[in-house]
Amino acid sequence: LAGYALALLHARRRRRRPVHGPPPHPGWTPGTKQPMPFPDRSHAAIDPKALASAYPLMISSFVPRPIAFVSTWSDKYAGNLAPFSYAGCFGHDPPVVAFAVTATSSRDDGRKDTLANVDESGEFVLNIMSDWYVEAANHCCGAFERCVDEFDASGLTRMPSALVAPPLVGEAAVSYECRVVHRHEMKNAQGMVTSTLVLGEVVMIHVAHAVLEPEGAARAGPLSGFQTLARWRALGATPTGRSGTPSTCPARTAACGAPDGGSGGGLPCVGLPSRGAGLGGRACAERDGRACGASGPGGLALPVLGA
């Protein structure tokens, strides 16, 4: 019985190993030119300052991009969970990941909920998106009130972190517990902060056993199985998908990673239907003597991009 179990384990691990195909041009030799495969090989020089917005061109050309599903925590307002397509991995010794949060006109200070929480706690959890929970993740991007925790709104599972306050997403196969090491504000020509880059040192990595390759092939450490992980990524102006296969999420309103009024965003195909019904300030628990999201004693609810 033990021998059968061991053989089964090895078989499963073999099935999870990436299948490496040949290079796109196996006959290429150094020095051989590889031109663009288009009849017209000329370029257009585009000054981003001359555009009404560089957002559509940037998100449709710098692809694919991993989507960071970021969990944060506030002692005052509880948790927040939102996807961001401005994200990446920037080192391994120490391991560093980063994401950028665009400014919003829906807050007096221009900070979306994720950034406000990161500034308060100095911590976040970056969860890797996978296709089996993409609809729930997509639901987390939109105009939730400040006190609404998207874990509750989406039905995603909170899992306790080991070293930081924000919880892990239980459905994520890989999660990185992070502490902020740098925060950089980017300003436009008018001197306005338009986005904030947040870099975090990874202090703990959680990997589901089903995607973990403990042997790490010929490398000096463990790997995650590429096919099994089914990473979800931004593929262009509106679609997202797995490994080059575009998909379209339900049409939404303003999105987490997008500037106000932009299409796309955290998940470029996302946004959310209006969150006023059932999830507005009156539906929130009372905190600090007034409803969350209210502008003052008059109780006028403010529309807030809950990113």
**pLDDT tier at 2, thresholds 50, 70, 90:** low
Phi, psi of 300, rounded to the nearest 5 degrees: -80, 115
Half-sphere exposure of 234 (CA within 13 A, CB side): 31
Q: Tell me: the pLDDT tens digits for 175-225?
A: 999 999 999 999 999 999 999 999 999 999 999 988 887 776 555 566 665
CA–CA separation, 230 and 138 (whole Å): 16
Position with higher pLDDT, 132 vs 246:
132
Secondary structure class of 6 (helix, strand, coil) = helix
Q: What is the mean pLDDT of residues 249-274?
A: 38
Q: Are 43 and 242 in contact (CB under 8 A)?
A: no
Contacts with 79 (C-beta within 8 Å, 6 or more apart), sequence order:
71, 72, 73, 117, 149, 150, 151, 158, 166, 167
Confidence of residue 288 (pLDDT cuts 50, 70, 90): very low
Task: Confirm if 196 and 115 have CB atoms less than 8 A apart.
Answer: yes
Greater confidence (6 vs 86) lies with 86
Count of beta carbons in the 10 Å neighbourhood of residue 80: 29
Alpha carbons within 13 angstroms on the beta-carbon side of residue 203 total 17
Quick check: 241 and 235 in contact, CB under 8 A?
yes
Burial of 6 (0-12, 13-18, 19+ CB in 10 A): exposed
- List, for residues 95-119, the tens digit of each pLDDT value: 999 999 999 888 888 899 999 999 9
Strands 95-102 and 193-207: antiparallel
The overall average pLDDT reported for the chain is 75
> Model confidence over 212-228: pLDDT tens digits?
877 765 555 666 655 55
Tokens 């874990």 map to which residue?
A: 151
Percent of the chain with pLDDT over 70: 63
